[in-house]
Amino acid sequence: SQQGEEDPQALSIQEGENATMNCSYKTSINNLQWYRQNSGRGLVHLILIRSNEREKHSGRLRVTLDTSKKSSSLLITASRAADTASYFCATENSGGSNYKLTFGKGTLLTVNP
Amino acid sequence: DADVTQTPRNRITKTGKRIMLECSQTKGHDRMYWYRQDPGLGLRLIYYSFDVKDINKGEISDGYSVSRQAQAKFSLSLESAIPNQTALYFCATSQGVQPQHFGDGTRLSIL
Residues 80-99 of A with CB under 8 A from B: 88, 92, 98-99
Q: What confidence tier does A1 reach under pLDDT thresholds 50, 70, 90? A: very low
Closest Cα in chain A, distance from residue B105 (Å): 6
Average pLDDT, chain A: 92
* Confidence check: pLDDT of B29 > 70: yes
Between A65-74, A94-103, B31-40, B87-96, the lowest mean confidence (pLDDT) is in A94-103
* Confidence check: pLDDT of B40 > 90: no
Are B4 and A104 an interchain contact pair (Cβ–Cβ within 8 Å)?
no
Which residues, in sequence order, are bridge partners of residue A39? none
Which pLDDT tens digit goes with each residue over B76-96? 999 999 999 999 999 999 998
How is chain B classified by DSSP, letter by letter?
--SEEEE-SEEEE-TT--EEEEEEESS--SEEEEEEEETTTEEEEEEEEEETTEEEE-TT-TTEEEEEEETTEEEEEESS--GGG-EEEEEEEESTTSPPEE---EEEEE-
Question: Which amino acid would we find at residue A76?
Answer: I
Q: What confidence tier does A7 reach under pLDDT thresholds 50, 70, 90? A: confident
Q: What confidence tier does A98 reach under pLDDT thresholds 50, 70, 90? A: low
Which pLDDT tens digit goes with each residue over A52-82? 999 999 999 999 999 999 999 999 999 999 9
Are A104 and B41 an interchain contact pair (Cβ–Cβ within 8 Å)?
no
Q: What confidence tier does B39 reach under pLDDT thresholds 50, 70, 90? A: confident
What is the average per-residue pLDDT within A91-102?
Answer: 76
Long-range contacts of B41-45, Cβ-Cβ distance < 8 Å, separation of 24 or more:
B41/A2, B41/A105, B42/A2, B42/A88, B42/A103, B42/A104, B42/A105, B42/A106, B43/A43, B43/A88, B43/A103, B43/B90, B44/A103, B45/A100, B45/A101, B45/A102
The pLDDT of residue B67 is 97
Exposed/middle/buried for B49, CB within 10 Å: 0-12, 13-18, 19+?
buried
Residues 45-64 of A with CB under 8 A from B: 45, 48
